[in-house]
Amino acid sequence: MNWIKNRKTLTAIMAMILTSCAMDRSPVTGWAYNDPTNGGFEKVPYEEQETGPGLVLIEGGTFTMGRTEHDVTYEWNNVPRRVTVSSFYMDETEVSNFSYLEYLYWSSRVFGPTFPDIYYKALPDTLVWREKLAYNEPYVEYYLRHPAYRDYPVVGINWLQANEFCAWRTDRVNEFILIREGLLEHVPNPSDQDYFSTEAYLAGKWQGQLKQKLPSFDEQNPERDVRMEDGIFLPKYRLPTEAEWEYAAYGLIGNTIGERITDRRIYPWNGHGVRNATDEYIGQINANFVRGAGDYMGTAGFLNDNADVTAPVYSYWPNDYGLYNMAGNVSEWVMDVYRASTVIDADEFRPFRGNVFTTQKRDSTTLVGGLGGDILTNVDGPVYQKFKQKTTRPGPHGENLSSNSEEESVDSLLTVMTGQNAADPEQVNGNKNVTPEGKSDIPGRVQWREVSSAVAADNLDERRNYKTADYISYLDGDINSSIYFAEGEDAFTDKAAKLMYEYAKTSLINDKARVYKGGSWRDRAYFLNPGTRRYLDQRQSTAHIGFRCAMTRVGSPVGMGK
């Protein structure tokens, strides 16, 4: 709960702070908090984290992550291991078409007049429905936008686009909170210059203005902006980690007595079958999946799962956390980079593979860099396939040579706005919003960079817990885990020289292979087990992969300071 909720004026806010914290003193110095005569160091009233829209609290704990039944794929990539997951929040349902259309509408309204490429890169790939020997054109035309499907899960979204949705949702929710608390003036038609960005606001780079500021106990500055210390802003919406998703899917809180888990689940429900065992609904299917060869929804007159492809996001029974469709309907993206050995290699506490440590770009005067940032959307995905061009590199005599690396070719695709001339980093084809690499900058967003040993301020030489930025390949693909390296000093720094995974030759695994979890409407029952794991390139999408958002829980894992 926010500490200024329903307060009408700054005077009332000040009175509340003075009343609640008048006798509160520092246990280390004895000086009183919230006292202008002492310099005005503040201690604001705070209860606990507010639950964001659409989220459910998932109380954390320990569980056995990985395989719970025979591995029919024989990939052995989910070896059982006991881990601990912290409490977090997760969406009650998958993100629906209608929710994603809200995001598209906002992007078109704010960026469309000036930077239409931002909107186009956010569009789902509706062509994922097409099959060579099936008539799926109705889904191509109607599934995303027809109101009959608005409560169905959005598909055709790649991993990068899902992350962009999470970033947009974070800003819109925090903007709503500031408006609700009377601090921010509601702007019906924001522009690409003044739309609200949480990171830009906290960095002092936001171009808009608050309706009113918070009172300050600093006599030299009687009013101030909202700070992270106030507890008003919510943490970022994001994709769940693989461990979080699997933990939430099982919903073992319903099978726990004391510290004993009485029944180990195969699916998000009790029992060894996929049918409901209660008297009222006995025999009905618990999820949307393929029961057998050619059987996607049952028999006319009794459509058992009542869905030919996907089903509305509130279909079937929720698990014991209150989460819908954690088995079936659509598979879901998670944060992790795929490695077969991740379950074995990752930490026992909050396991995750995919860390690339970053920091905000800063300059010598303001200590905060300019706004902007690489668009993390489908720059080189299906929307721009017709603009694909073969990657070339200069030869010894100035000629252009075709790249031998398929991964390099994919990574270097240029958007239509980049054109042929990328010599001027400030302006490409008259558009200053495009960088020479072919990636656009979203205006109004704080820029981030990877930490680097070349930057003295990062102090990597003094750190003990990490020495570089990118740990995606740690223990599985880096120099410590592979004997297959090119010769020469570049082999230690150049990722292209690392041959543990020969991408597009002997493997489809690289640092862009992302994990997706759970079964879908086109899977058999085996994949309804939350322990199963598969992967897909983060730039690709399908008609059976969707996503839901998560949020970090700060403070007490159970709430109210317990």
Residue 421: pLDDT band by 50, 70, 90 thresholds? very low
pLDDT of residue 12: 52
CA 118 to chain CA centroid, Å, is: 18
Please tell me the predicted confidence (pLDDT) of residue 298: 85
Of the two residues 126 and 433, the one the predictor is more confident about is 126
Maximum average pLDDT range among 68-77, 225-234, 487-496: 225-234
Looking at residues 217-230, what average pLDDT do you find?
89
Q: Which one has a higher pLDDT value, 75 or 14?
A: 75
Residue 433: the pLDDT is 39
Nearest-CA neighbor of 515 among 115, 243, 275?
243
Find all residues with CB under 8 Å of 216, minimum gap 6, and list them: 40, 42, 222, 223, 224
For 287, which DSSP code? Answer: S
- Top-confidence residue, 490 or 321: 321
| Per-residue CA distances from 356 to 88, 155, 209, 439, 470 (Å) | 21, 27, 33, 19, 4
Report the pLDDT value the prediction gives residue 107, as an integer from 0 to 100: 95
Statement: residue 498 has pLDDT above 60 = no
Work out the mean pLDDT of the chain and round it to a whole number: 81
Q: Return all residues near 95 (Cβ < 8 A) that are at least 6 apart.
A: 153, 154, 162, 165, 546, 547, 548, 549
The model's pTM is 0.84
Amino acid 278: pLDDT: 79
Q: How far apart are CA 410 and CA 503, in angstroms?
A: 11
pLDDT at position 434 is 37
pLDDT for position 318? 94
Cβ atoms of residues 235 and 552 within 8 Å:
yes
Work out the average pLDDT over 183-204.
Answer: 91
CATH 3.40.50.150 applies to domain 56-181+232-354+514-562 = no
Both tokens of 316, joined, read 């079937």
- State which of 131-135, 471-475, 491-495 shows the largest mean pLDDT: 131-135
467 burial (CB, 10 Å; 0-12 / 13-18 / 19+) is exposed
Cα 352–358–359 angle (5° rounding)? Answer: 140
**Which among 288, 331, 355, 328 has a CA at the least distance from the CA of 162?**
331
Question: pLDDT-based confidence at 215, cuts 50/70/90?
Answer: confident
Residue 487 pLDDT class (50, 70, 90 cuts): low
* Residue 483 confidence (pLDDT): 61
| pLDDT score of 480 more than 90 | no
Structure tokens, 505: 């030759």
At residue 375, the pLDDT reads 36
Report domain extents, the chain. 56-181+232-354+514-562
The pLDDT score that the predictor gives to residue 488 is 52
What is the pLDDT at residue 4? 46
Q: What is the pLDDT of residues 20-57, one digit of tens each?
A: 445 689 999 999 998 888 888 988 888 889 999 999 99
Sequence-separated (6 or more) residues with CB below 8 Å from residue 553: 49, 57, 58, 60, 86, 87, 88, 89
pLDDT band for position 145 (50/70/90)? very high
Each residue of 242-269: pLDDT tens digit?
999 999 999 999 888 888 888 888 999 9
- Residue 315 and residue 306 in contact, taking contact as beta carbons nearer than 8 Å: yes
Mention every residue, 6+ apart, whose C-beta is less than 8 A from residue 437.
422
Query: Which range, of 16-20, 278-282, 313-317, 430-434, averages the lowest pLDDT?
Result: 430-434
Return the SS3 of 107: helix
What integer pLDDT is reported at residue 39 of this predicted model? 86
Q: What share of the chain is helix, strand, coil (3-state, %, to 5)?
A: 20, 15, 60
Q: With CA atoms as reference, report the closest residue to 522 among 211, 306, 297.
A: 297
The pLDDT, as a whole number, for residue 276 is 82
